[in-house]
């Protein structure tokens, strides 16, 4: 079954439309509230990190902070876990980039002209026009910066989406019907091969997150990927002990999945 990801500019109707599609299709709707709950269940520090850093452009310090990388890795694991369940609407958090290349994932972008969004914000937030405009621009800038910093992508680039809707041209009901119909087509794109690819990427994300969040492991150069056959580990560890710790984590997480370990340590 299909998965729907929604990227949205602020006040373009992402939450309302995503929730309506979920109601119409019986899909689960996963937004900020649910992901915060998932992260908090993994530890209070991850809940705090989410409150402070969710869809916000990371500072230079954060981009190089090992704990911040762990926070992002855990979000990616959560996104993959929901995608594996199928029949889910994933709102924001870079889900369309995380699940890129999975054929049954419908990647949607919702936009609307600034003036339309300002009017919506004035009504919804009961705020002045100038304040509404500043909030919209700041939120869009933060979301774009988050995607650019984490995934090295331009969130406005149409090539990253299967469908782009200008919600100034659609009511919530109209947009909901359009996405519901599109999901029926994407249901037909679900294949055993696509499912296997999703499972491989999800496992890779779990291995990466477990390594990064391990209290005794620190590998700033760590790269974890999947080449279609094996999980591939690259980077430089500091000591043989650290290398052995990584190997133990990987064996526990990935066995019997093939792993190509190209980690090495400086003597």
Share of the chain above pLDDT 70, in %: 99
Domain residue spans in the chain? Answer: 3-192, 214-265
Locate 53 and state its tokens: 């850093």
CA distance 6 to 14: 7
CA distance 211 to 230: 17
Residue 13 has pLDDT above 70, yes or no: yes
Residue 264 phi/psi, 5° resolution? -145, 165
Closest to 222 measured CA to CA, from 209, 100, 9: 209
User: Strand pairing partners for 110?
Assistant: 8, 165
Average the pLDDT over 205-222 and give the result: 93
Domains 3-192 and 214-265 equal at CATH topology level: no
CATH 3.40.50.620 fits 214-265, yes or no: no
Q: Provide the pLDDT confidence category of residue 267 given band limits of 50, 70 and 90.
A: low
pLDDT by residue (tens digit) across 113-129? 999 999 999 998 888 99
**HEC states along 31-45?**
CHHHHHHHHHHCCHH
Average the pLDDT over 136-142 and give the result: 95
Stronger pLDDT, 60 or 214, i.e. the higher one: 214
User: Strand pairing partners for 96?
Assistant: none
The CATH number assigned to the domain with range 3-192 reads 3.40.50.300
Residue 93 has pLDDT above 80, yes or no: yes
Q: Under 8 Å CB-to-CB from 140, ≥6 apart: which residues? A: 9, 10
């Amino acid at each position: 079954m299909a998965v729907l990801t929604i990227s949205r500019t602020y006040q373009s109707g992402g939450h309302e439309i995503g929730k309506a599609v979920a109601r119409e299709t019986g899909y689960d709707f996963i937004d900020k509230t649910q992901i915060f709950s998932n992260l908090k269940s993994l530890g209070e520090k991850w809940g705090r990190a989410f409150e402070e850093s969710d869809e916000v452009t990371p500072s230079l310090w954060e981009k190089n902070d090992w704990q911040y990388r762990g926070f992002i890795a855990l979000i990616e694991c959560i996104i993959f876990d929901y995608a594996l369940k199928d029949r889910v609407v994933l709102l924001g958090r870079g889900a369309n980039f995380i699940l890129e290349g999975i054929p049954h994932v419908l990647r949607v972008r919702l936009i609307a002209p600034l003036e339309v969004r300002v009017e919506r914000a004035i009504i919804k937030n009961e705020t002045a026009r100038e304040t509404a405009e500043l909030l919209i621009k700041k939120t869009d800038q933060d979301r774009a910066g988050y995607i650019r910093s984490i995934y090295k992508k331009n969130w406005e680039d149409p090539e990253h989406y299967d469908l782009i809707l200008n919600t100034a041209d659609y009511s919530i009901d109209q947009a909901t019907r359009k996405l519901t119909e599109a999901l029926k087509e994407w249901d037909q794109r679900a294949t055993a091969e696509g499912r296997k690819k999703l499972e491989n990427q999800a496992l890779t994300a779990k291995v990466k997150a477990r390594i990064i969040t391990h209290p005794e492991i620190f590998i700033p150069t760590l790269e974890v990927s999947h080449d279609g056959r094996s999980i591939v580990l690259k980077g430089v560890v500091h000591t043989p002990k650290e290398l052995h710790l990584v190997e133990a984590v990987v064996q526990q997480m990935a066995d019997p999945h093939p792993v190509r370990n190209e980690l090495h340590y400086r003597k």
